[in-house]
């Protein structure tokens, strides 16, 4: 299962750094924004592709949906905390929030790996 976790981390890096940088900035203040959902869909689709090598289609689809919902909520919450408290970009507080955001994504992948292990 370590390989699943590593692949999900690589997928996360690809989606959050490369794919997100090639598109217009998504309005993450609105949970129903198309750009936010496109970004989360990128994550879900690649999670699905990875998981198909390790579990059934049904389980992979459910876990990709979990990744989608978690990613949208984590990114939306981070954006709104930064906005509510007027956090200055590149400040220590900004990077602490950014670190918490990334940790929550990694925990999501850990949970996915644990759930695959139970099936």
Calculate what percentage of the chain has a pLDDT beyond 70: 98
27 in helix, strand or coil?
coil
Query: What pLDDT sits at residue 77?
Result: 95
CA 50 to chain centroid, in Å, comes to: 14
78 touches 101 (CB < 8 A):
yes
Angstrom distance (rounded) from CA 75 to CA 105: 9
Whole-model pTM? 0.92
Query: What pLDDT sits at residue 19?
Result: 86
Residue that wins the pLDDT comparison between 88 and 32: 88
Range of the domain at 113: 2-117
CA separation (Å) from 43 to 8, 10, 76, 84, 114?
A: 9, 11, 15, 26, 19
Query: What pLDDT sits at residue 23?
Result: 77
Number of structural domains (the chain) is 1
């Amino acid at each position: 299962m370590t390989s699943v976790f590593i692949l999900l981390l690589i997928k996360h890096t690809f989606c959050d750094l490369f794919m997100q940088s090639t598109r217009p900035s998504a309005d993450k203040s609105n949970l129903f924004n198309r750009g936010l959902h496109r970004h989360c869909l990128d994550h879900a689709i690649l999670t699905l592709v990875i998981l198909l090598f390790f579990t059934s289609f049904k389980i992979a689809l459910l876990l990709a949906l979990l990744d989608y919902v978690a990613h949208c909520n984590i990114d939306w919450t981070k954006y709104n905390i930064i906005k509510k408290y007027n956090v200055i970009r590149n400040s220590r507080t900004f990077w602490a929030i950014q670190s918490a955001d990334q940790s929550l994504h990694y925990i999501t992948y850990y949970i996915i790996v644990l759930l695959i292990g139970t099936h």
